[in-house]
Structure 1
Amino acid sequence: MSSNLYSVGLTGLLSSNARINTTGQNTTNVDTEGYSRQRTDTVSSPVGGVVIRDTSRLVDNFVSQQVRTDTAKHSYYDAYLSMISTSDNLLAEDSISLNTYLNNSFDALQAVNNDPTSSSLRGLAYSSLENLVQQYQVLSGIVSDQEGLIDEQLASSLDDLNAITSEISNLNKAILKNETFSISPANELRDQQELLAKKLSKYLDVSIQFNKDGLMTVQLANGQPLVMDKTTTELMIRPNALDPKKVDLSVSFGDYEVGLKTENLGGSLGGLIDYRTEFSVYADRTLGQHAISLADAMNTQNKKGIDANGEFGQNLFTLGKVQVYSSLENLHKAENISVKVADGQSSKVSKNTFELTRTDSDHFVIKTIDLNGKYVDQPVTFNPDNLVKDSHGYFNIAELGLDLSLADIEEIDGDDVFRFTPTEGAATSLSMFAKNGEALALGAPLVVNTSSDNLSDSRISLTSVTNTNSGTSAFSSDGSLYPSAPHQIYFTSPSSYVVRDASGVEIASVSNVTQYTKLLEQAGLAEEAGFEVSVSSKPKRGDEFTITTENLGVSDNFNGLALADLQTKGLVAGKATLMKAFSGFISYVGSKTAEVEGHADASKIVMDESVARRDRLSAVSLDEEAVNLLKYQQSYSASAQVVTAARTTFETLLGIMR
C-alpha cells in the first residue's frame, strides 16, 4: 500500500510540476505576439495516481480562420482607402479643379470676341488654353503617380509575402522533424506559423488547412494554392501584353508556375490591385474622354472659321497616338495598325477597350470590352476593301467614332488579337497644336449681303457653318466659294425663291415658302454647301441676297461665338457639358471614397471583435494564471505530503520488520 501511495504522490508531484511549468510559460509569454495559451492535460491512472497526457495550445481553428478572413477584408478596404482618399483630396482641390481652368478659357474666348482684332486678347485666350492643357496633364499625372506608387507598394508587399510563405514552408519542415522525434507537440513553432498566417492575411485573403501530418497548407480564398506542405513558393507579377494596365500574378513552385486570378484576392494586395485596375483605369479613361471631347469639338469648330491671317482655321489641339497592344510575338504586327478619333465624332467615343481580330480573308471584327473586362454591345464587322480611305489610308468606323488604318492586312492572321483604348492616356498626351492666339479662327468664312435695291426690310444673316472641307463643301482650298456653289438667293415672289451660282445660273428653286429660316436646307443644298442662311422677315418680289467670301470683316466674331458656345454643349459622350462631366467625375470620386471609408470602418469593428473572440480563448490572462499557479502550488505541496506520508509509512514498516 505504501508503494502505491508513494507512486500516487510522485505522479502528483510530476503533474503539478508540469502544470506549474505550463503556467509559468503562459505568464512569461503574456506579451508575446501570436502566443496561444497552453494547457497540460492529465488523466487518472487505473493503477493509481495521474498520467500526464500532453501540453496543448488552446486554439479554435474556426475562430483563427475568421480572424484571418476579417483581417484580410479590413486590410483590403484600408489599402484601397489610403489610395482613393489621396486622389479625392487632390482632385477635389479647388485650385487644381479642371472647371476653374475651363471657366477661365471660355471667359477669355468671350473677351476676345469683343475685339477679335486685339492681339493681346488673342494672346490671353491662347495662354488660357495652354493652362487648360497643362491642367489636364496635371490631373492625369496625379493618376499616373498613384499608379507608380502602387507598383512600388506591390513590389514591396510581394517581397514581404514571399518571405512569409517561405518561412511557413520552413516551419512545416521544422514541425515535422520536431514532432517525429518527440512525443511533445511543437506548440511554439505552431504559434509562429499561426502568426505568420495572420500576417499573410493582411496581404491576401487566405484559407489555412492542415494535411494528415498536421502541416499547414495555404490557399487563396478562391482555392488557388499558395503553400503546399514543405514546398517553397514565390508570388510574382507578370506583364500583360494585351492590357499593360492590368496586374497579373503567378505563383512559382520552382519547376512550374501557376497563374493566379486577381479577382477577389482580398488583403492589401487585392486592395491595391483593384484600385489600380478599377478606379485608376476609370479615372484615366474619364479624363481622357474629357480631353478628347474638348480637343475634337474645338478643333472641328475652329476649322469652320477664319483666323487672324485670313485663312481657314486649323486644329487648336493635338492628341497623342492611340496605343495598339498585342501578344509579345505580334508586337511587330501592331505597328501596322493605327487608330485615331474621327474628326467631329468624339461624342461616340466611350471609355471601353476595343479588340480587333480577323475573321476570314476579307473581313475583320471589332469587339467592345467594358471597364469590367466583359464583352458588351454588338461586334462591328467590316471589309477594309469596301471602305473609303482618306489620303492617309484611314477609313471610318462610324459606329465607334474611330478612324482605322491597316498598313499590311496580309500580315494579320486569324489568331492574332489586337487591343486599343482611345481614351487611355489621352489627357496626358493632349497638347497645343496652335502656336499663338492668331490661330484662333474667330471670323466667318463668308459674308452675306442684302441688296440695297430690295423693296422689303428683310435682312439676310449667316445661320451656321457646318463644313469647310474643300472636298465635301462649297469652299475651295483657297477659301473662296466654288463657282457652282450658292452665290445668290433671289425671291421671285414673297413665297418663292431661286438659288443661283456665281454665273447667275439657277441651281435650285423653292415655292410655297412659309418659313424664312434655313433657306438652303429648303432648297436641298445645305449639306453640300456646308453653311446655312436665313432672312429676317417676309421678302418681296425681286429681293436679292448675295453670298461671297470677299471683303471678310477683320472684326467678325461669328465663329468665335460658336467656339465660346461650346461651353454649354453636351460634348462628353454626346450628353454632358465639359464642366458637368468633370463635376460628375469628382462626385463619383467623393462617393466612392465615402463608400470605401464606410466599409473600412465596419470591417475594422468586425475584425476587432474576431480578435477579441480569439483572445478570450487563446490569450493569456494573468488573473487566471495567478489562480492556477496558486492551485498547482498547493497541489504540489499536497503531493509532497503524500510522498512524505508514504516514506514515513514505509520506514515504520521497516522498523517493525527489524
Structure 2
Amino acid sequence: MIRTADLLSIARSGVEASNQLLSTTGNNIANVNTEGYVRERTSFVAELTGGVGQFTTERVMNTFAQNQLRRDTTNLAEHEAFWSKTAVLDNVFGSEANSVSSSMSRFFASLQTANDDPTNMSARQLVLGDADSMIKQMGTISTFLTDKAREINFEFQASLNKVNSLVESIASFNDSIRIAQANNRNDEPGALMNQRDSAILELSSLVSIETRNSSNGDGSVMINLTSGESLVMQDGTFSVLNVNNSADLNYKSLQLTSNGKPTSLNIAETELGGTIGGLFRYRDEVLEPSRRELGQIALAVTEAVNTQNRAGMDYDQQLGGEIFTRPISVALGYPENTDSTSVVNGRISKGGASEITSADYQIEIHAVNAGVPPTIDATVSLLNLDGSVVKDADGNEIKQLYAGANALTAQSGTFNEVIGGLELEFSKGTGYSVDDTFLLQPTKDVADKIEVFTTRPEDLALASPIRIEAGDDNLGGAELASTSVTNTFVENPPVDPRSSGFDGAGGIHAPGSAPGGGVGAPASVRFTSSTDYEVLDSAGTLITTVTGILSLDNLLTQAAGTPGWPAAFNAPTMNDYPGYDFSLKGEPKAGDTFSIGYNGNGLNDNRNGLIMANLQNENGMQLNNAGSGDPVSFHEAYANIVGDIGQKAANADVAVKAGEALKLQSKDWFDSVSGVSLDEEAANLVRFQQSYAAAARLLNTAQEMFDTILSMVR
C-alpha cells in the first residue's frame, strides 16, 4: 500500500505518542504509594497512511486475580470478626476466677458440711452465703453476656451504615464513569475506577459479594450479594440493608430495601460472609447459645435444690420451702398481635429442673373460650435460635396442642404446666385474640434475675419429713433400707391433683382427710407373711393388701398397683399421693409392723440434706434443645459451654491464620499484575525517552530537509 503521509506528520505523531507513553509512565511512578492504584498502560494503533494513530490508556487488570482477592478479603474478615469476639468469651468462661463450676462446688461442699451437724446454725448460714455467691457469679457472667449482645447490636448498625454508604458511593461512581466514558471512548477514567474498586474491596470485607460488568459496555458494575440479592443494579438503582426484627427487638435480622422499587427482602444472615457475617455467626453460634445455656444451668441448679428442699423438713419442723426464687419471664408479642398490651408470663415449673432446655418457646393462640375461669386453646412449640421448631431424635417437631379438656386456664395468678419444664400464665383472661403469637425466652437473661429467697438458716430442710419405726414386737430380720419423699404439696381438703399425704400441721392425713374422704393416708405396714403385707391408715383401718412380693423395695408403690388401693389416691384424681415411700432389707416375718409418721423432733436428721448435697453428682439436666440425649450433671453442662466456646475460638484462630495466608497469596497475585513496579517503569521510562528523542530527531530531520528544499528554489 502506498503511504501518503509526509515525514513531518509521521515525526509529529511519534513525538506525541512518546509523550503520552512518558506521561502514563510518570503517572504510574507518581502513584506507586497510592492505595488502590492500578497501573495503567497506553497502547496505539498504526495509521494506514503512516505514523502513529489513536492511543488508548487503560488499566492493567486481571479480573480473576481481583475477584480472588475480594473473596479472600471476605473470608478473612469473617474469620477475624468471629475469632476476635469468641476469644473474649473464651477468656471469660475459661478463667478460674469466673468459674461457675467452682462456685457450685463451694455451695454443695457447704451443704455437705451442714449435714455433718444439722443443728449448727453457722454451718447452715454458710450454705446460704455460698448460695448467694453462686447466684451472683452466674448473674455477673449473664450481665456480661447481655452487655455483649447490646454491644454487637451497635456494631451491626455501624457496619450496615458503612455498607449502605459504600453501596451508594459505588452507584455514584458508576454514574460518573458512565458519563466520563461516554465523553471519551478511548481513555478509561482510571482514577474513578480505582476509587470504585477500592470501595468494592472495602465492601467485600463487610459482606460477601459478586460483581458483573454492565452488558452495554458503559463501564458500570453491578453488585450482588453471594446469596443472589442485588445491591447495585444496571439501571443505576441500589439497595440498602436495614435492621429488621420480629418479636425480639434485641435480636436483629436483616432486610434489603431497594431505592428504586417498593420491595423488601429478608436476608439469610448465614450467607452474608465478611465482617457482618462473622458477627452474625458469633451471635448465633456462640453468644446467644451461651446466654441460654447459662440460664438453663441457673434454672436447673436452683430448681433442683428447691425441689429437694421442698421434700424435706426444716429446723422449725415444717415442710421445706424454696431456697431460690423462680423468676418470671415476660413473653414478647409479635407485631401482628391484635393487642400489643397482651401479656403471657412464664417460669420454670416446680420439679422442672430435669426438663428445662435452652430452647425458646412460641405460644400460638387458636381459641379463647369464655367461662369461669376462661380457657385458651394454644400450641406451645420449642424453637431454635433461627426460629425453626426443635425436632426430637426421630425428626418430629417438639410442639404440643392444648385444647378441649387440656385447654390452658386464662386468669391472673394461675400458671399452667406445659412441655419443656415450663409454666405459663395468661393474665389477661379473655383479652387475647385468635392468631396472637408470643415468644418466650425463659433462659436468655434469667441467670441475673434469680435470688436467694430466704435469709433464715432454719429454712434449710436437711431432715426427711417422714420417720419409719419398726414395731417393738417384730420377730423378723427386716430393717429400714431407705425412705423417699417425692411430693409435699399441702392442700386441705386435698382437691388439687398435686396434693400429698402431708397435712401441713406436723402430720399426715387422718381418716376423712385423705382424698375420697374414706381411709387416711398410709400410716403403717403389717406383714402377714414374708411375701404378703397390709397397708393401714393412722386409725388402723385396712387400705389394701399386697401379696406375693418379690422385693421389699418401695412398698407403698407396690401397694398402689393393687385392686384395693383407693381410686381417689391414683390419677387422674391425684398425681403423686401420698408422696412418700420406703424400702426394707432383710426378711420380715408375719406380725412385723413398720409405722409411718411425721418426723417431729428429728433435728439431727440429715437424710434430705445428703440427697440435696449429692445433686451435683446426679445427671439431672438436659444438654440439648430437644432433650433427647443422655442427661448430664450441672458441672458437665457448664464444662460443655466452656469447651464449646474454647473449641470454636481455637478453630477460628486456625481459620484466621489460613485466611491471612490465602489473602497474602491473592494480594501478591493481584499486585504482580496490577501493581506498579518501579524497576519496570524505570526501564519503560528510558525506552520511551529514547523513542521520544528518535521521533524528535526525525522531526528535526524533516525540518532540515524542508529548509534545504526552500533554499534550493530561492
Q: TM-score, normalised by structure 2?
A: 0.87
Q: 1:334 to 1:562 in 2, by over 3 A?
A: farther
The question of 1:612 aligning with 2:668 is answered yes
The corresponding residue for 1:422 is: 442
Kindly indicate whether the alpha-carbon contact (under 8 Å) linking 2:5 and 2:50 is maintained by their aligned counterparts in 1: no
1:34 aligns to what SS in structure 2? coil
Task: Supply the distance in 2 between the matched residues of 1:530 and 1:503 (Cα, whole angstroms).
Answer: 19
1:198 aligns to what SS in structure 2? helix
Task: Supply the distance in 2 between the matched residues of 1:646 and 1:598 (Cα, whole angstroms).
Answer: 69
The question of 1:371 aligning with 2:392 is answered no
Query: More displaced, 635-644 or 435-444?
Result: 435-444
Kindly indicate whether the alpha-carbon contact (under 8 Å) linking 1:79 and 1:271 is maintained by their aligned counterparts in 2: yes
Task: Supply the distance in 1 between the matched residues of 2:176 and 2:5 (Cα, whole angstroms).
Answer: 42
The corresponding residue for 1:268 is: 275
Q: 1:436 to 1:248 in 2, by over 3 A?
A: farther
Kindly indicate whether the alpha-carbon contact (under 8 Å) linking 2:331 and 2:343 is maintained by their aligned counterparts in 1: no
Percent identity at matched positions? 29
The question of 1:652 aligning with 2:708 is answered yes
Aligned-residue offset at 1:114: 0.3
1:318 aligns to what SS in structure 2? coil
Kindly indicate whether the alpha-carbon contact (under 8 Å) linking 1:40 and 1:53 is maintained by their aligned counterparts in 2: yes
The corresponding residue for 1:225 is: 230
Q: 1:391 to 1:357 in 2, by over 3 A?
A: closer
The corresponding residue for 1:393 is: 414
Q: 1:536 to 1:62 in 2, by over 3 A?
A: same
The question of 1:176 aligning with 2:178 is answered yes
Kindly indicate whether the alpha-carbon contact (under 8 Å) linking 1:278 and 1:371 is maintained by their aligned counterparts in 2: no
Aligned-residue offset at 1:349: 2.3
Task: Supply the distance in 2 between the matched residues of 1:346 and 1:637 (Cα, whole angstroms).
Answer: 91
Amino acid at match of 1:247: S
Task: Supply the distance in 2 between the matched residues of 1:621 and 1:593 (Cα, whole angstroms).
Answer: 40
Q: 1:457 to 1:485 in 2, by over 3 A?
A: same
Match among 556, 559, 563 for residue 608 of structure 2: 559
The corresponding residue for 2:502 is: 475
The corresponding residue for 1:138 is: 140
Task: Supply the distance in 2 between the matched residues of 1:41 and 1:646 (Cα, whole angstroms).
Answer: 26
Q: How does 1:631-642 map to 2 (within 5 A)?
A: 631-642=687-698
Aligned-residue offset at 1:137: 0.9
C-alpha offsets along residues 2-47 of structure 1, whole Å, 9 cap, x if unaligned?
A: 9711111111110001000000000010010000000011111101
Task: Supply the distance in 1 between the matched residues of 2:274 and 2:326 (Cα, whole angstroms).
Answer: 38
C-alpha offsets along residues 353-410 of structure 1, whole Å, 9 cap, x if unaligned?
A: 332223467742233332343233153122165458699433322x433223334565
Q: 1:335 to 1:561 in 2, by over 3 A?
A: farther
Task: Supply the distance in 2 between the matched residues of 1:456 and 1:468 (Cα, whole angstroms).
Answer: 32
Aligned-residue offset at 1:655: 2.2
The corresponding residue for 1:165 is: 167
Aligned-residue offset at 1:569: 1.0
2:311 aligns to what SS in structure 1? coil
The corresponding residue for 1:587 is: 643
Amino acid at match of 1:506: L
Aligned-residue offset at 1:554: 0.9
4+ residue segments displaced more than 6 Å: none
Task: Supply the distance in 2 between the matched residues of 1:57 and 1:248 (Cα, whole angstroms).
Answer: 37
Aligned-residue offset at 1:430: 2.1
1:85 aligns to what SS in structure 2? helix
Kindly indicate whether the alpha-carbon contact (under 8 Å) linking 1:240 and 1:248 is maintained by their aligned counterparts in 2: no
Amino acid at match of 1:490: R
Aligned-residue offset at 1:500: 1.5
The corresponding residue for 1:185 is: 188
Q: 1:96 to 1:242 in 2, by over 3 A?
A: closer
Query: More displaced, 253-262 or 89-98?
Result: 253-262
The corresponding residue for 2:517 is: none
Query: More displaced, 12-21 or 450-459?
Result: 450-459
Q: 1:248 to 1:334 in 2, by over 3 A?
A: farther
The corresponding residue for 1:205 is: 208
Query: More displaced, 406-415 or 471-480?
Result: 406-415
Task: Supply the distance in 1 between the matched residues of 2:63 and 2:124 (Cα, whole angstroms).
Answer: 74
Q: 1:439 to 1:255 in 2, by over 3 A?
A: farther
Query: More displaced, 235-244 or 317-326?
Result: 235-244
Task: Supply the distance in 2 between the matched residues of 1:513 and 1:263 (Cα, whole angstroms).
Answer: 60
2:448 aligns to what SS in structure 1? helix
Q: Tell me, which stretches of 5 or more residues in structure 2 are unaligned?
A: 370-376, 392-396, 511-519, 570-575, 623-629
Kindly indicate whether the alpha-carbon contact (under 8 Å) linking 1:324 and 1:419 is maintained by their aligned counterparts in 2: yes
Task: Supply the distance in 1 between the matched residues of 2:599 and 2:6 (Cα, whole angstroms).
Answer: 130
The question of 1:522 aligning with 2:558 is answered yes
Kindly indicate whether the alpha-carbon contact (under 8 Å) linking 2:413 and 2:427 is maintained by their aligned counterparts in 1: no
Task: Supply the distance in 2 between the matched residues of 1:21 and 1:486 (Cα, whole angstroms).
Answer: 107
Task: Supply the distance in 2 between the matched residues of 1:329 and 1:382 (Cα, whole angstroms).
Answer: 22
Amino acid at match of 2:652: V
The corresponding residue for 1:309 is: 316
Query: More displaced, 571-580 or 621-630?
Result: 571-580
Task: Supply the distance in 2 between the matched residues of 1:77 and 1:236 (Cα, whole angstroms).
Answer: 23
Task: Supply the distance in 2 between the matched residues of 1:93 and 1:624 (Cα, whole angstroms).
Answer: 55
Bigger fraction of residues in helix: 1
The corresponding residue for 2:77 is: 75
The corresponding residue for 2:597 is: 548
Task: Supply the distance in 2 between the matched residues of 1:224 and 1:149 (Cα, whole angstroms).
Answer: 28
Aligned-residue offset at 1:209: 2.7
Query: More displaced, 629-638 or 237-246?
Result: 237-246
Match among 295, 300, 314 for residue 293 of structure 1: 300
Task: Supply the distance in 2 between the matched residues of 1:248 and 1:141 (Cα, whole angstroms).
Answer: 26
Q: 1:427 to 1:439 in 2, by over 3 A?
A: same
Task: Supply the distance in 1 between the matched residues of 2:110 and 2:559 (Cα, whole angstroms).
Answer: 38
Q: Tell me, which stretches of 5 or more residues in structure 1 are unaligned?
A: none
The question of 1:283 aligning with 2:286 is answered no
Task: Supply the distance in 2 between the matched residues of 1:502 and 1:589 (Cα, whole angstroms).
Answer: 57
Q: 1:514 to 1:278 in 2, by over 3 A?
A: closer
Q: 1:103 to 1:546 in 2, by over 3 A?
A: same
The corresponding residue for 2:220 is: 215
The corresponding residue for 1:25 is: 27
Amino acid at match of 1:369: L
Query: More displaced, 582-591 or 205-214?
Result: 205-214
1:534 aligns to what SS in structure 2? strand
2:454 aligns to what SS in structure 1? coil
Task: Supply the distance in 2 between the matched residues of 1:550 and 1:608 (Cα, whole angstroms).
Answer: 76
C-alpha offsets along residues 246-287 of structure 1, whole Å, 9 cap, x if unaligned?
A: 433444627846344023111111111221233211111111
Kindly indicate whether the alpha-carbon contact (under 8 Å) linking 1:516 and 1:534 is maintained by their aligned counterparts in 2: yes
C-alpha offsets along residues 174-233 of structure 1, whole Å, 9 cap, x if unaligned?
A: 323333334532111111110111111111112223333222333211122223464466
Kindly indicate whether the alpha-carbon contact (under 8 Å) linking 1:334 and 1:418 is maintained by their aligned counterparts in 2: no
Task: Supply the distance in 1 between the matched residues of 2:651 and 2:16 (Cα, whole angstroms).
Answer: 59
Query: More displaced, 45-54 or 380-389?
Result: 380-389
Amino acid at match of 2:332: Y
Task: Supply the distance in 1 between the matched residues of 2:448 and 2:485 (Cα, whole angstroms).
Answer: 31
Amino acid at match of 2:297: H
The corresponding residue for 1:245 is: 251
Kindly indicate whether the alpha-carbon contact (under 8 Å) linking 1:520 and 1:532 is maintained by their aligned counterparts in 2: yes
Amino acid at match of 1:215: S
Task: Supply the distance in 1 between the matched residues of 2:537 and 2:51 (Cα, whole angstroms).
Answer: 124
